[in-house]
Amino acid sequence: MITAIETVYNGCKYRSRLEARWAVFFDTLNINFEYEKEGFEIDGERYLPDFWIKDWNCWIEIKPNILRKNYIQNDEQDKIITEKVFRLCRKLSDNKNDVVLLIGGTPWIDGTESLNNLNEKDRFSFNYEIIVFYPKTIMESCNFNEALKKTKFSIEMETKGIFNRLSQEFYSSSETNSLYWFIQKQYLENPHYFKKPMPEMGNTKALIEADKIYYLNRHDEENIHWKYDLCNDKYAFKIIQNKMYLADIFDAREYQDKKLLKAYIEAKKARFEHFK
């Protein structure tokens, strides 16, 4: 079993070196944060989130692995741990009516050791992914614009035509990667999974139920996106014209802002005090 190393950075003792590296990342970007600001007991479970980000008005939980990958693997222990993390993040978001960012991985990208010799054609591979938990009442609205108005969360999503579960188009469009497109595809390829007729475009509840049925039949377990009301599970940070966004992980691989690259570099090369 791997044991986390207690680490001192900037006068604060962090429970792990990974948390300290994320603190370096936030500091390099001049983002105000509090480490382990407040603990909660929610429905009999105690939970102490890692960071409160004042500038973004959200909680952040840091984990060492990209949890989406852990969950889809067959290791039962990994699934139990991941389920607990998801459950606590969901409860915190709903009870505090705040956004929670669950970050799995380390704050850097492969192949970037300095700001010299950068090329606009560069594409980057991230060592982390962000899962976003909006309050459940917002998720159930299925309306991204309405969701943004109801939260003080200050980071926008740079969708760039990419659908997510808060986009109305996700349910009312037949374009590739919309839910209607996906369900229609499964009705054609796997009709034995379904007993009811194909839902109409825009019928949000029926499309979600069809997706749940498909996933259960295909994977013999509940779809984690609907179980925990996840907006999406593959985001990364992206700065556009000095403003921070959450971008789909594939879109975020484009040429990076130098401020963001510097934060990744500083977090990776940081050296710390630690305790046994």
| 84-143 per-position pLDDT tens digit | 899 999 999 999 989 999 999 999 887 666 666 655 556 677 889 999 998 887 777 656
Helices (H), 29-75: 67-72
Does 111 lie in the same domain as 235?
yes
* CA distance to 62, 157, 216, per residue, from 131 (Å): 11, 12, 22
Does 29 lie in the same domain as 131?
yes
The predicted model gives 6-30 an average pLDDT of 94
Angle (CA) 227-174-170 rounded to 5° is: 35
Helix (H/G/I), strand (E/B), else coil: 68: helix
Whether the predicted pLDDT of 19 surpasses 90? yes
Does 74 lie in the same domain as 189?
no
Helices (H), the chain: 17-28, 67-72, 76-96, 136-139, 144-149, 169-172, 179-189, 204-219, 224-227, 258-269
Does 160 lie in the same domain as 181?
no
Domain of 221 in residue numbering reads as 166-226
Does 193 lie in the same domain as 115?
no
| 202-235 per-position pLDDT tens digit | 898 899 999 999 999 998 888 888 888 887 778 8
Does 199 lie in the same domain as 157?
no
Retrieve residue 153's tokens: 């969360």
Structure pTM? 0.88
Does 24 lie in the same domain as 141?
yes
| 151-172 per-position pLDDT tens digit | 788 888 776 655 677 777 888 8
Does the residue 276 lie in any domain?
Answer: no
Where do we find the tokens 């889809």? 72
Does the residue 138 lie in any domain?
Answer: yes
Does 206 lie in the same domain as 86?
no
- Structural domain count, the chain: 2
DSSP 47: E
DSSP 159: -
Q: Identify the pLDDT of residue 88.
A: 94
Least confident of 22-26, 150-154, 198-202, 236-240: 150-154
